[in-house]
Amino acid sequence: MVGGSTELNNVGNIALWVGVLEHAFSTLGFIILGLKAKKETAIFYNINILICAISTYCYLLMATREGDYVTYHGHLQFWPRYFEFTVGTPLLLLDLGLVANAEKSQIFFIVVCDVFMMWSGWSAAIAKTESVKWVMFGVSCLFFAPILSTLLGTLRKNVESSPIAIKKLYDFLSLYTVVIWSGYPIIWLLRDGFHLIDLNTECVMHTIIDMFAKDVFGYILISNHHVFEDHDTVDTVTAIVDAEHNVPPLPPSPRAART
């Protein structure tokens, strides 16, 4: 059975170490760039530093074989991968929520759905029976559905009233996220579902998709920081940041007042 292999060869091991290096490089890059970040964009730098730092830690655990978990059927799974998903992907959703000026209840909703999606996926990966495996995979997909509908529906409506630059950024990032995240259940189906690929191929695929889902996503967001630094377009982000620190909101700019 291809998918049941517990052997991690040089290909899989190299893929994991590449993951360590790419996420570590991104973490360092975001830290350096964040040193000059303005108040309006500092929160985005901090979130993406955390995302990449968590990914670096989890890939290091997998690369050093400290994250091995052998299932009932002899499949080797990496529990740090699901820990990374559980902690890192909610932060990605927080990024999108802040860009869309989402309400806290909306962000909380998709974050909770995301956590249950990841843990039902883990339950499917380590299930002892085929029936439980597919039921848990179905449950994971059910939790994915409201995330999709919120990102492409509710939050997209929220951002309609935002400046055009922020709206375009959100539209791109939300669609980008949906497309990239859809690759994860496909990888699960290929290995854990139908055993069409082995552990090493899975490691290569995960390393590639994680790079796009986290590092590239963060770079796209950070490289468009100027859309938030224009004083007339930062009210939504600034209000969220100030609310966390009990800072009174800024008065409208003279240009906004004249309009």
- For the chain, the domains span 2-247
pLDDT of 60? 98
CA distance 65 to 68: 6
- How far, CA to CA in Å, does 168 sit from each of 99, 124, 139, 218? 10, 37, 32, 16
DSSP-assigned letter for residue 66: T
* Whether the Cβ atoms of residue 158 and residue 100 lie closer than 8 Å to each other: yes
pLDDT of 249? 52
pLDDT of 73? 87
With residue 70 as reference, give the H or E element that holds it.
strand 68-70
85-120 pLDDT tens trace: 999 999 999 999 999 999 999 999 999 999 999 999
Domain 2-247: what homologous superfamily? Rhodopsin 7-helix transmembrane proteins (1.20.1070.10)
150-196 pLDDT tens trace: 999 999 999 998 999 999 999 999 999 999 999 999 999 999 999 99
More confident residue, 234 or 134: 134
